[in-house]
Amino acid sequence: FFLGAYGFICATNIKPDDIMYNTLPLYHSLGGWVCVTYSLLGGCTTVLRKKFSATNFWKDCIKYKCTGFSYVGELCRFLLAQPLSDNDRKHSIRFCAGNGLRQNIWTPFVERFNISQIYEFYAATESNAYFFNLDSHPGACGFYSVAFPSLLGSILVKFDPDTMEPL
């Protein structure tokens, strides 16, 4: 758990003066793992909001001088669906970390809200495999490091989606 979190902290270049904004439940991997471990291991501050509010999201980010936030893809879609506002670019957010940001809204989201870096990861809490998209490539589910097979004992298998047989 902590090894994966520490690796993500190093890869995303979290600094102690960063302030994460979290509207996700702490029992969810994004709310608990990303934001809380950023604070515990990275030394940054996490601002917690009881529940997500598209109306107040950017107001809160401005008020608390947040530099990053965690998301699930729908959260970004809800923000993009809000009417244009002066607050869309008044914030200090430089990155966000999460998963599920759809390819068709990735670029409009980045351009409207001026987010310089999006970090995505895909993992299952009951497994030992992770995929990271650390270069903000829209629509990519990430990469699989050559170090992971030896480190985690897992492999990628390309398969035929019709027959479900390995290729």
pLDDT in tens, 63-110: 999 999 998 889 999 999 999 999 999 999 998 888 888 889 989 999
From CA 66, how far away is CA 52, in angstroms rounded? Answer: 15
pLDDT at 12 over 80: no
Q: How many domains does the chain have?
A: 1
In this structure, is residue 129 part of a structural domain? yes
Q: How confident is the model at residue 38 (pLDDT cuts 50, 70, 90)?
A: confident
Can you name the residues that pair with 36 across neighbouring β-strands?
none
pLDDT at 62: 98
pLDDT at 55: 96
pLDDT at 17: 93
In this structure, is residue 157 part of a structural domain? no
pLDDT at 24 over 70: yes
Helix or strand (DSSP H, E) at 130: strand 130-133
Question: Can you read off the two tokens belonging to residue 76?
Answer: 């970004």
pLDDT at 133 over 60: no
In this structure, is residue 126 part of a structural domain? yes
> What CATH number is associated with residue 40?
3.40.50.980
Q: How confident is the model at residue 166 (pLDDT cuts 50, 70, 90)?
A: confident
Full residue range of the structural domain in which residue 96 is found: 2-152
Can you name the residues that pair with 167 across neighbouring β-strands?
none
Report the length, in residues, of the chain: 167
